[in-house]
Structures are given as structure tokens and as C-alpha cells.
Structure 1
Amino acid sequence: MTQAVTVRRDGDTFQARLFWWHAARLLDPESPVTRVAFKTGPKSFDDIWVEYDPARSALDQYGEPLLREHMQCKWHVTPDNYGYAHLVDPEFINANARSLLQRARDAQLAYAQSGVGVRFKLVTNWRLDRSDPLRAMVGNRSGAVRLDRLYGSLTDNSKAGTVRKAWREHLGIDEDELRLLARTLAFGEANDTLDALRDNLDILFGLVGLRRIPANHSAFPYDDVVFQWMAQGRLEFDRSSFKSICAREGLLGPAQGGPRIYGVKSFEHAFDRLEERCHAVLDLIPAFDERYIRSDQDWEGTLYPALHRFLRDAAKDHARLRLALDAHVTLAFAAGSIIDIKSGRTVELDQRGTGRRIWAPDDVDRDPQWPTLIAETVQLRSDQSDVAVAIGLTHDVVADVQRYCETSLPSVGRLLILKPNTGPGAQSVACGRHAFELADAASTAVRTARPHQVGLAHLFVAAPNAFTFFLGQRRTALGPVRLYEFDFDGGRGRSYMPALTLPLGVSASNANSGVSPPARS
């Protein structure tokens, strides 16, 4: 009985904290969120809905303004996976008769007959099973179903056809009707713990002017008050009504303001869209097919110039600013190379993960117990001048990097391995100052490995984006570098792919001569 009560309370807490994650933005005049509702709307997608200003909303997976999202929030105490067959099973949502897919179909007919502008999203801490056909059809960027993959085959004998057939027959609809429904479906994976959600809310509340609750207080009144409002029939809020009810409950506090927040994204978080909390966002997602760049030439020809313009404008009038980088390793490094160590700007990084989220070079005092960086060199070819640098802070990349160098990089003579003295892991980087110091140590190690900057430094990085940004700030000291992206999803052999070379225009010949081309703006 005790376990059942705990599970129910945790589920309610999950829903309440996601509500506040969206509703708090009603107090930010620059947010595109215009209305938020709790426990109202289409059945099974009535936990939360969010309405956006059409002029400022994010775009959906097809470039259309996203006007409203209806969310089903499902929390589980134990981890597990789900797949396409669960969506036609009523037991998956603890129902007796109608499945989640049937209820999604009802919602689509009632709220999105054209299939455009509205999204019905399952947000859960369970994961889509990697072996399930549906996994390959859900976009990593937005969590939305990708019609090109769902309809990537003509018959029902393929994996995609199996999904379509099961859903079609379960709903009793034809292909055209299924296509309209599928266009509105999305699936979000909530990786954060309940405590991490509370930590994230604390930062958001401080910015928009809601009362912050000290972390050492067991009671978090925000979890309960939204259910009290529900009992009173207060279910929907716009900017004015939300501010009024928060004032009446004594929930308003001083808005701390703080640095302006600028976002760069090449993929999208399950429920934390950068447009909802950043003053400006550079959206590079259209250049990618999931995690893979559509054209290799875009790194140099399109993405870097766009990033350069965006960040130069962002940093122009602000001595201190904050960046939220939902972006590839390459873009995090490139961002640092633009707002470099000599820019006179202090940059805070909105770092996703456990623990502290806002990382800056001066965020905490230095701790001598922090892990330090150790270096090891492996000789690969005695007659080659390029150096490969394997930086494994969060996980060990040495075997993958060495294999790639031996098979695909004949110009690499040495492999420089950099890792924490405590070993790679999620907790190997403690905070912003620690990331800044590790980046400084990595820069020193690379300069030592190639004292005359002859040849390219090929960078393979597994680290928080804050570290990669701070390392990018030292790009000039590193000499010519080339960044690589790892194929985490396994769609291209789980190997590395070359990305951006800096400075722009550097070639193998002038890299080997130690001469860099003129800087480009």
C-alpha cells in the first residue's frame, strides 16, 4: 500500500512540475507561451496543454508554426521501454477499453482535423525501445513521428508497414486518415529525476519572479497548489490570470533578471524548447537529418557563418551573457572560438545533466579535490605530423578514436589521450570553473604535443558542452583543428564523421606547413 501511494504521489509531482515548467513562462513577456492549462482537454492528453503566440512559436517538423501542444505525462518508478504495440493496448495507460492511440485519434479529430498546428505528445520517463520499429520513425529533434519513415515502404511486409497495418486495423481507418493522425503525434523522453526538475524550476523561478523554495526544505508547495487550483475549477491561465493567482497565493518574488539568454540548437529537448526561455534562438535544425548533417559542406558554408553572426550580435552589448547549447559538439566548440578567451566577455553555459545547470568560469571557488586531466601519447605512424586528440571526460573514447585513426586518417602520426585521473564518468566535471580549468589543461596538453603547430589537431570530444565551449575559446592557441562527430545512433556504423575545420579555409597543405589562412568573419 505504501509503495502504491508513493507511486501515485510521484506521478502527481511529475505532472505538477512539468506544468510549472511551462506556466512560469507566462511571467516572461518575451516568452511565446500565451496560455497554459492543467487537467483539461482531450482525454489522455489532458495533463497539460500549452498555447503559443503564432508570431513567435517554434516550428514543427515540417516548418509550420506549432500553435498548441497537448501532453500526457506518465511517470514510472522503475525504468522500462515501450513500443508501437503498447499504443494499441489499453493497459499501457491503465485503461479498460480505449487505447492511447484511439484517444489520440479522438483528440486529432476534435482539435486538429487538418493535422497542422497541434501536437499530441506522450511525455514519460520510459524509453522507446531501440529494437522497436517505432523508434526509427520518431525524430530525435522534436520527438514527432516522421512520416517519411513511417511511409518509407509501400507494403505491409516491412517494419514500417507492420506499424501502419497494426495502427490502421486497430483504429479502423485508411492510410490517408492514419497519415493525418501520425503527423500530430510526438513522444518525449523525460530524463530528469524529480529532484532535477525541482532544481531546474528553482533557476527558472528566480528569473521570472516566482518565490524560490530552499533546496533543504522538504515541502515544495508548488507540487500541491496546482491540484488545489484544479479542485477550485481553475484550470486554464493566460498571462494576466496566472500572475494574479500567483500573487494571491503569495508565490511572487523578485525577478532576478540576470544575463540575457541566447540559444543555439541543432536538436531539441523532449519538453524544454529553447524558444520558451531564450531571448533569441539560432535554429540550425533544418540543416540536419536527425543527428546527421544533410551536407558536409554546410559546416563551413552555412552553419559557422550563421553562428558567427548570431553570437557576435549577442555578445556585442553584453559583458556577461548566457548560452543554451542544445547542439552538436562541433557547434559548442565553434561557439567558443567565436566568443574567445580574449573577447572580454564572461559566458555562462546552460549545462544539461545532473547537479548544477548554470556553469560559468567563476561560478564556485576552486576545489583541490576535483579530478584533474592526465595525458598519454600513443605513436601510430612515425612519418606523419597530424595529432589526434581523444578527450574522454564523460566516457572512454580511446578504442573508437584509435580504430578510426588507423582506418580513416593516414595523416595522423600520434594519438594524444586526455582523461580525468578518476576515470571518465557523468560526474567527472563538477561545475563551470572546473570545466574551464580542464579546458585550460587540455589546451596546454595539445600545445605541448605539437609545439610548432605543424599539421592538424583532430579533436574527438566526449564531454559536457560547457567544457567543449571553453576549449573552443582557446582555438587560436591550439592551431588548426578539425572536429569530429560520433554516430551515437548507429545509423552510420557507430564511427566518427569529420565536421568543421577551423580556421575556415585551412587545408591539409597549409596545416602541415604551420601556416593558418587569414581569419574570416
Structure 2
Amino acid sequence: MTSGPLRKPGRTGVRIGGDRYQWLVAWSACVSTLRGPDVESNPVVAVGVEVDGVGNLDDVVVYRQAPPNTYIQVKYTVDSQHPVNGAYLTDPSKAGGPSILEKIYTAWKDLSKSGDPAELVLMTNRAPDPQDPLVSGRDARTRLLLPNASEGGPTSKKGVARHQWTTAAKMRGGELTQLLEVLRFDLAHDVKHVEEKAGLQMLASGLRGDADAVAVGIGWVEQQVIAGKRRITADEISDAVADLGLRQGQSRSILSIATLTPDPLAAEAAHHLDWVDRFDGVDAPHKRRPLPPATWEQLQDDIEAIPSHLVGATHVIVTGSMRLPTAFTVGATLRMVTNVDLAVVQRQDLWSTDTSYTEAVTPQIDTHQIGLGNDLAIVVQIAAPVHEDVLRFITEQQLPVDKLLVVSPPRGVNDKAISGSSAANALAFGIRNALRPQVRRYQSVHLFLATPMGFALLLGHRWNAMGPTTVVYEDLVHLGYERAFTISA
């Protein structure tokens, strides 16, 4: 049965929707307190909700062990009729009071009196106006309007807009630039987006991250507000997590690798790689090879430098968006001998290399004799059968391959062949054990993958003591395959 369009909510519905959005943002901040000093250099120690004495930046306050604290103004709307632009920011309120920008400026001035640095955030589900001279230049990585907003002379479109913002907020000369240096514009964060980010944060912090768990967290924040609680400490949040039954593991250092789309957890990562603009392609499905002047070798240098940025980390969650060669190579770089436990979110489930299993799963291995050289080719196909495409590519490109090993799950290839983390580890261990004696007499292995992304990471993590050098290939779909990364024994 198909339902019709929803009616526009009344005032009560709008207010409830806005409150829930604010509690969701606050719960996301609460989860950050669980990532203590063992995984965060400057951990969050408390979260404020509707805090007194900080002006219009009181909706959510993130208190850290050392400054800067983060002051978040949360704005919710039920539709996208009015995007974030100069008018939205500088027009007086409906009651004729100060504009949003003036309120933020006034609060910033008061916060600055202490001399401590502060981070300011305007967070809303409203979208940015692509026609606005200043807002349209927002940097998607930092969420700041600078440096683009500072370009152009006083008579340029940006210069005129800067003057209008300065005048409307009653600022002094130069203060707008100072404000924009610390004011992030977190825009177009609809409820679903923030819920998904909160779920990822919860998984990274050792909690359940399903929709029901997120809802439980939101409800708990609401109860704190009803009870008049304005500042919630890390210990209180930790106790609540235990009481609510949300704990399922331990906090992990975040390694963010964004290849296809930006990673919402990049700002919270111990180390992050942003390759979105370094891959060719108009959208995520088409981003399959580096965009010149970027090369596979440069990207591999980035991956091989990861351990130096995670010194002391023993439990790591890999977030972001990766294709299979990248996931495998990251796993191989942080392989078992580094004593790092890796985890990744696979279809809302956490797959971790330290998940126990009863016994290894022995894969099915079919051998195709090729006779073009002295190397070995391996295709690991779990999600889809691709061995015929690989065979065709090897023969067309005359790769120096003696034979191809086609590795599949014992019950056949399908997109549900792996039921979860335990099954993934059992199969990865079984594949490694089955292949190790067969590859050792070769100097080079050509590896092709058709697996879930999480499995590629787990398999790479176990790809130790294999013997030969492994070359991992990227699937270019209609263009065949391309050498991506080379992994030493």
C-alpha cells in the first residue's frame, strides 16, 4: 500500500522535531566522551545542553580537557524553502530582535573575554545557498567559509556581502574575518544523516550502533534536559551507557580514509586520508583510478605512512569509503604482526579482526592452467563470480601468469555468503591457510578481489608470511583491470 504525502506539521510538531534534532546532536557529543585519553589526545570531559551564560551558542556545548571547547547553535527546519544565505543570517528575527549572525557575534565576544580559544558551530538541516557570495564558498573539508570569503576587493560581490554582514551584526572592522576563522557551518545535516553519524560514532566507541540504540541515547538526553541537567559529565554518560545496555566492546582509534565520498567521522579521526578529489570520476561509482597527477604509487605512500600516525593504538576502526584494493592494502599495512586489531562497519555491522570463531572455513579452490609465465594469479570471489572476466583480462594483456586460482566460499558465490564478523574471520583465516603453501614457490602474485569491502580489509590483515610480492588490481568494469598497489611479503 502506497501512502500519500505527509501533511505539514503544526507548531507542536515543529517544536518536537526541533527538540529531537537538538537531543540527537547532544547525544552525538555525549558519545564522544567515551573516547577517553587512551584514544583521544584532548578528550571530551562533559557535554552541556542549553547552558547558561554563553548567549545564543547554548544549545550544545562540548567541553574538552583543554581549550578549545565547542559551542553549537542548532537550527532545525521542516523544509528547504529558505537556505542558509546572507538574508537568513542577517535578517532580524520575526519579533524584530537580533539576527542569527548578530547573536552568534555577541556570544563570541563574551566567550573571547576569557582569553581561551573557542570553536563555534552553526548546525542545521538547511542547505547552503549556492548563489550566496560567501556561503557558496564554504570549504567542505573544514566547513569554514574562509579562505574563499576573504577574497575580492570591497566592490566585489564578496566584498559587498562582507560589508553587509559586518553592518547587520554591528561588528567592527576586521571582526568578521576573526569570527569566520572559528565559526563552522555544518549545513544540510538532515536527521537521517546525523542519526547515521551517531551510529558510526557509537560503534567506534564500543557501543551498539543500530537505530534502536541511537533512539535510546536521544531519549536519555531528553530525560536529562527535563530533569534540569545542564552539564553532563563523562562519568555520568559512562554510567548511563552501562545502565541502558548499550556497551558491546571497547573504544577504538579512528582511521578515516575517504576515497569515494567525504567521511563524516574525519574530524574525529586519529589520522585521516582524504582522496575524494584525487580519484577520477563524476561520482562514487565511477571513482576507480587516481586522477592525474595523483598516482597509485603516491596513494600507497599515504597508506604505508599510516602506522606512524597511529603509534600506540592497538584497536582501530577504519571509517570512510574505500574500494577493495585500498581496503586490502590498509589491512596488509596493519597486518596481524603489527599487533593492531582492525574493525570496519559492514552493512551496519561491526566486523573486527579480533572476533572469535570456532574453526577456519576451508574455501573452494579451482585451478585454471594458463601457461603465460612464472607468476600466480588469484581471484577471491565472494559477492559475485568474476573469474571469467579475470581470465579474459589475463590472456588479453598477456600477463606472465602460469595459472589462476579461483577462491570461493565452500557453499558458493553470493552476496550473503558471509553472515557476520565471526564468519568473515573464519573464511579469511581459511583462505590464508589454503593459499600459503601454494604461493610460496612463486615470486609474484596477481590478486583480484570481488568481496565485501570489510572482508578485503580482514583478508589483507591476515596476508602475512605469504612469501611472494602481491600486486592488487582495481576493477575498472568495462575497461578491465588496472594494477593498483604492490604489497611486499
TM bin (shorter chain): 0.5 to 0.7
Query: 2:229 aligns to what SS in structure 1?
Result: coil
> Which residue in 1 is equivalent to 2:253?
262
> Which residue in 1 is equivalent to 2:319?
326
Q: State the alpha-carbon separation in 2 of the partners of residues 236 and 186 from structure 1.
A: 23
Q: 2:486 aligns with which of 501, 505, 519?
A: 501
Q: Deviations over 1:205-261 (max 9, x none)?
A: 876xxxx999879984x5455445445543124456x46xx97x9974789684562
C-alpha spacing 1:43/1:15, structure 2 compared with 1 (3 Å): same
Tell me if the contact between 2:204 and 2:253 (Cα under 8 Å) persists in the aligned partners. Answer: no
Q: State the alpha-carbon separation in 2 of the partners of residues 128 and 467 from structure 1.
A: 37
Which is worse superposed, 189-198 or 177-186?
189-198
> Which residue in 2 is equivalent to 1:35?
46
**Structure 1, gaps ≥5 residues long:** 55-65, 276-280, 316-321, 367-371, 487-495, 504-518
> Which residue in 2 is equivalent to 1:20?
27
**How far does residue 118 in structure 1 lie from its aligned partner after superposition?**
2.4
C-alpha spacing 1:428/1:475, structure 2 compared with 1 (3 Å): same
Q: Deviations over 1:99-134 (max 9, x none)?
A: 544443334333348999422223345555789875
Q: State the alpha-carbon separation in 2 of the partners of residues 452 and 93 from structure 1.
A: 74
Query: 2:85 aligns to what SS in structure 1?
Result: helix
**How far does residue 429 in structure 1 lie from its aligned partner after superposition?**
7.5
Tell me if the contact between 2:381 and 2:413 (Cα under 8 Å) persists in the aligned partners. Answer: no
Within the alignment, does 1:121 sit opposite 2:102 as a pair? no
**How far does residue 49 in structure 1 lie from its aligned partner after superposition?**
1.1
Which structure has the larger Rg over C-alpha atoms?
2
**How far does residue 51 in structure 1 lie from its aligned partner after superposition?**
1.8
Which is worse superposed, 466-475 or 10-19?
466-475
C-alpha spacing 1:7/1:112, structure 2 compared with 1 (3 Å): same
Tell me if the contact between 2:72 and 2:123 (Cα under 8 Å) persists in the aligned partners. Answer: yes
Tell me if the contact between 1:11 and 1:75 (Cα under 8 Å) persists in the aligned partners. Answer: yes
Q: Deviations over 1:283-312 (max 9, x none)?
A: 255xx687549986765556514516847x
Within the alignment, does 1:67 sit opposite 2:68 as a pair? yes
> Which residue in 2 is equivalent to 1:145?
144
Sequence identity of aligned pairs in percent?
A: 15
Tell me if the contact between 2:143 and 2:184 (Cα under 8 Å) persists in the aligned partners. Answer: yes
C-alpha spacing 1:339/1:213, structure 2 compared with 1 (3 Å): closer
Q: State the alpha-carbon separation in 2 of the partners of residues 149 and 497 from structure 1.
A: 37
Q: State the alpha-carbon separation in 2 of the partners of residues 174 and 392 from structure 1.
A: 63
C-alpha spacing 1:68/1:305, structure 2 compared with 1 (3 Å): same
Note the 1:388-407 alignment, pairs <5 A. none
Q: TM-score, length-normalised on structure 2? A: 0.60
Q: State the alpha-carbon separation in 2 of the partners of residues 392 and 182 from structure 1.
A: 49
**How far does residue 186 in structure 1 lie from its aligned partner after superposition?**
1.9
> Which residue in 1 is equivalent to 2:285?
none
Q: 2:60 aligns with which of 48, 54, 65?
A: 48
Q: State the alpha-carbon separation in 2 of the partners of residues 332 and 10 from structure 1.
A: 38
**How far does residue 16 in structure 1 lie from its aligned partner after superposition?**
1.6
Query: 1:334 aligns to what SS in structure 2?
Result: helix
C-alpha spacing 1:232/1:261, structure 2 compared with 1 (3 Å): closer
Tell me if the contact between 2:331 and 2:459 (Cα under 8 Å) persists in the aligned partners. Answer: yes
Within the alignment, does 1:470 sit opposite 2:459 as a pair? yes
Aligned length: 435
C-alpha spacing 1:446/1:29, structure 2 compared with 1 (3 Å): closer
Q: State the alpha-carbon separation in 1 of the partners of residues 338 and 78 from structure 2.
A: 47
Note the 1:88-487 alignment, pairs <5 A. 88-90=86-88, 95-96=93-94, 98-112=98-112, 117-125=117-125, 134=135, 137-140=138-141, 143-145=142-144, 147-151=146-150, 153-155=151-153, 162-163=157-158, 165-172=160-167, 176-188=174-186, 189=189, 192=192, 196=196, 220=216, 222-231=217-226, 233-239=228-234, 242=236, 252=243, 258-259=249-250, 261-266=252-257, 269-270=263-264, 274=268, 281=270, 283-284=271-272, 292=278, 299=299, 303-307=303-307, 310=310, 314-315=313-314, 322-326=315-319, 329=322, 332-340=327-335, 343=337, 347-349=341-343, 351-352=344-345, 355-357=348-350, 359=352, 362=355, 431-433=420-422, 436=425, 457=446, 464-465=453-454, 467-471=456-460, 473-474=462-463, 480-481=469-470
Query: 1:86 aligns to what SS in structure 2?
Result: coil
Q: TM-score, length-normalised on structure 1? A: 0.57
Q: State the alpha-carbon separation in 2 of the partners of residues 125 and 364 from structure 1.
A: 43
Query: 1:147 aligns to what SS in structure 2?
Result: coil
**How far does residue 36 in structure 1 lie from its aligned partner after superposition?**
1.6
**Structure 2, gaps ≥5 residues long:** 1-6, 280-292, 476-480
Q: State the alpha-carbon separation in 2 of the partners of residues 390 and 177 from structure 1.
A: 58
Query: 2:184 aligns to what SS in structure 1?
Result: strand
Counterpart of 1:122 in structure 2: which amino acid?
Answer: L
Which is worse superposed, 186-195 or 27-36?
186-195
**How far does residue 47 in structure 1 lie from its aligned partner after superposition?**
1.8
Tell me if the contact between 1:338 and 1:473 (Cα under 8 Å) persists in the aligned partners. Answer: no
**How far does residue 459 in structure 1 lie from its aligned partner after superposition?**
6.7
C-alpha spacing 1:219/1:454, structure 2 compared with 1 (3 Å): closer
C-alpha spacing 1:2/1:184, structure 2 compared with 1 (3 Å): same
Tell me if the contact between 1:337 and 1:472 (Cα under 8 Å) persists in the aligned partners. Answer: yes
Counterpart of 2:26 in structure 1: which amino acid?
Answer: F
**How far does residue 48 in structure 1 lie from its aligned partner after superposition?**
0.7
Q: Deviations over 1:182-221 (max 9, x none)?
A: 21122344675676577568768876xxxx999879984x
Q: State the alpha-carbon separation in 2 of the partners of residues 365 and 192 from structure 1.
A: 37
C-alpha spacing 1:463/1:218, structure 2 compared with 1 (3 Å): closer
**How far does residue 337 in structure 1 lie from its aligned partner after superposition?**
0.9
Tell me if the contact between 1:388 and 1:412 (Cα under 8 Å) persists in the aligned partners. Answer: no
Q: State the alpha-carbon separation in 1 of the partners of residues 442 and 228 from structure 2.
A: 68
C-alpha spacing 1:347/1:165, structure 2 compared with 1 (3 Å): same
Query: 2:252 aligns to what SS in structure 1?
Result: strand
Q: State the alpha-carbon separation in 2 of the partners of residues 324 and 104 from structure 1.
A: 35
Q: State the alpha-carbon separation in 2 of the partners of residues 127 and 390 from structure 1.
A: 42
> Which residue in 2 is equivalent to 1:62?
none
**How far does residue 274 in structure 1 lie from its aligned partner after superposition?**
3.9
C-alpha spacing 1:451/1:204, structure 2 compared with 1 (3 Å): closer
**How far does residue 360 in structure 1 lie from its aligned partner after superposition?**
5.2
Tell me if the contact between 1:388 and 1:458 (Cα under 8 Å) persists in the aligned partners. Answer: yes
